[in-house]
């Protein structure tokens, strides 16, 4: 039977995907998050564009260095974005998703199909053809550029060199790797060992990590995970799974816990899975708070959800002290760039000081809400010291009743703490985080 025209699925031409990818790259250059930029892409294009954009962000330093050697004057933003997309996708023959000549032809076609960039199509075509002819020499020349070599902004590379002199290369290398899909087993439903049996029965290769952590050998849609809809498991990086047990240790039964800056709700849920806690979750963004609610609903858990600014407790606190406070503070997200490779190009060095001020404001505002003997966990998904150890050093100097207890400190991404074990330490494959456990002195 002949298919009607309405049922035929036409393949999406590569030039359309390149156009949309360049728009996403341009949006991040203009200050939008990569997540928001990808979500704005038309649904049929979105999966392919996301894959291409991630590849581009992981190679954008090299692409920009190559572009600088191919042009004498910076092209217009939309043209430059497409030129850099093509270079990022084509420069490394071993990892390129398409052959170089196809990429060049389709990139030029993408320019021609856009009214604003069409006049520059011949110029970009000449640049890319020159790149193909001189690829080896151009790549070798850009090897001397740290942005090209590490595919991070120069300031980012230099900061890591200063702050982590033994591990900066491992951190940057891991940042361009593909992270594992990591699960948190809901121990109220099943044990990690039993869930591994379910995964293997479903044909999903996996291995156990520490505590409730399970690593998948390959990422799969959550709809394929046994029991996901029923709340048996959640997707959460291993480093993020440290927060709940670290806070709950020593708090006693049914603790009253505040989860400040709670979205998207993974740590809120983990607190409720791990203990019979009374949890108040605060998040200032209403849309993000809705995600917390949906997460808890899927898991069959309940918390008191308040859309409010955690730094203004006078707007939401009832005056009853908390036994425990989890402050997962806003930060640069420098520790999770392998999952969100846009972040390195979105952030500016000045953001670090601004975010450190916000973290300080949250710490000082929330500390009085803790009862004497209570505990606070401060954490950030950052590898920068000013958002971690230096922040807490300043805090305990200001707060005479704050005791900094033994805690993980800076968890460098993957196995970067021991660079000699980068390839054979998979059970500790996690994002970069900082953790400090603080106890309030008093009766």
Q: Residue 2's pLDDT band (boundaries 50, 70, 90)?
A: very low
Q: Verify that 258 and 212 share a domain, yes or no.
A: no
DSSP-assigned beta bridge partners for residue 402: 440
Enter the pTM of the model: 0.91
Q: Verify that 290 and 191 share a domain, yes or no.
A: no
Q: What is the CATH number of the domain that holds 381?
A: 3.40.50.150
Provide the pLDDT for residue 413: 87
DSSP state string for 75-112 = PPHHHHHHHHHHHHHHS-TTT-SS-HHHHHHHHHHHHH
Task: State how many domains the chain has.
Answer: 3
Instruction: Pick the catalytic residue from 84, 331, 379, 381.
Output: 381
Q: What is the CATH number of the domain that holds 84?
A: 1.10.940.10
The answer as to whether 5 is a domain residue is no
What average pLDDT is seen over the chain? 93
Q: Verify that 267 and 399 share a domain, yes or no.
A: yes
Q: Environment class of residue 111 by beta-carbon count within 10 Å: exposed (0-12), middle (13-18) or buried (19+)?
A: buried
The answer as to whether 159 is a domain residue is no
Contact 277, 300 (CB under 8 A): no
Compare 316 and 420 and report the one with higher pLDDT.
Answer: 316
Provide the pLDDT for residue 429: 87
Question: 112-136: b or e for each residue (b if 16 or more CB lie within 10 Å)?
Answer: bebeebeebbeebbebbeebeeebe
How does pLDDT run across 251-268, given as a tens digit for each residue? 989 999 999 999 999 999
How does pLDDT run across 32-41, given as a tens digit for each residue? 999 999 999 9
Closest CA to 419 of 50, 168, 47, 84: 168
Q: Verify that 100 and 25 share a domain, yes or no.
A: yes
Provide the pLDDT for residue 9: 56
Q: Verify that 266 and 284 share a domain, yes or no.
A: yes
Does residue 381 carry a catalytic annotation?
yes
Domain containing residue 255: 240-440
The answer as to whether 163 is a domain residue is no
Q: Verify that 406 and 259 share a domain, yes or no.
A: yes
Q: Verify that 143 and 186 share a domain, yes or no.
A: no
Q: Verify that 45 and 16 share a domain, yes or no.
A: yes
């Amino acid at each position: 039977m002949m298919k009607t025209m309405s049922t035929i699925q036409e393949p999406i031409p590569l030039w359309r995907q390149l156009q949309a990818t360049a728009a996403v790259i341009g949006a991040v250059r203009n200050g939008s998050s990569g997540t928001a930029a990808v979500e704005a892409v038309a649904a049929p294009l979105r999966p392919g564009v996301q894959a291409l954009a991630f590849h581009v962000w992981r190679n954008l330093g090299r692409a920009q260095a190559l572009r600088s050697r191919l042009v004498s004057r910076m092209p217009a933003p939309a043209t430059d974005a497409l030129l850099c997309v093509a270079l990022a996708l084509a420069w490394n023959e071993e990892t390129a998703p398409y052959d170089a000549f196809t990429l060049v032809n389709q990139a030029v076609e993408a320019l021609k199909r856009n009214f604003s960039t069409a006049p520059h199509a011949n110029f970009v075509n000449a640049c890319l053809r020159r790149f193909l002819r001189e690829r080896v020499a151009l790549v070798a020349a850009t090897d001397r550029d740290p942005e090209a070599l590490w595919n991070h902004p120069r300031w980012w590379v230099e900061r890591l060199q200063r702050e982590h002199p033994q591990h900066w290369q491992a951190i940057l290398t891991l940042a361009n790797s593909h992270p594992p899909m990591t699960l948190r087993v809901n121990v109220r439903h099943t044990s990690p060992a039993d869930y591994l049996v379910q995964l293997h029965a479903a044909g999903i290769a996996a291995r156990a990590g520490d505590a409730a952590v399970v690593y998948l050998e390959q990422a799969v849609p959550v709809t394929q995970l046994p029991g996901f809809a029923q709340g048996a498991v959640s997707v959460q990086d291993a480093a993020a799974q440290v927060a709940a047990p670290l806070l709950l240790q020593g708090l006693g039964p049914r603790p009253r816990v505040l989860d400040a800056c709670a979205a998207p709700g993974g740590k809120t849920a983990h607190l409720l899975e791990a203990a019979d806690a009374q949890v108040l979750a605060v998040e200032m963004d209403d849309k993000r708070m809705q995600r917390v609610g949906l997460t808890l609903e899927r898991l069959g858990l309940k918390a008191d959800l308040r859309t409010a600014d955690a730094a203004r407790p006078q707007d939401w606190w009832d005056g009853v002290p908390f036994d425990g406070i989890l402050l997962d503070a806003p930060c640069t997200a420098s520790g999770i760039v392998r999952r969100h490779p846009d972040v390195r190009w979105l952030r500016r060095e000045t953001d670090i000081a601004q975010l450190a001020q916000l973290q300080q404001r949250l710490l000082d505002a929330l500390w009085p809400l803790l009862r004497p003997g209570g505990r606070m966990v401060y954490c950030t998904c950052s590898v920068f010291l000013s958002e971690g150890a230096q922040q807490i050093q300043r805090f305990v100097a200001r707060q005479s009743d704050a005791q900094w207890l033994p805690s993980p400190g800076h968890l460098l991404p993957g196995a970067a703490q021991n660079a000699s074990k980068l390839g054979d330490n998979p059970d500790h494959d996690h994002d970069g985080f900082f953790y400090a456990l603080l106890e309030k002195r008093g009766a």
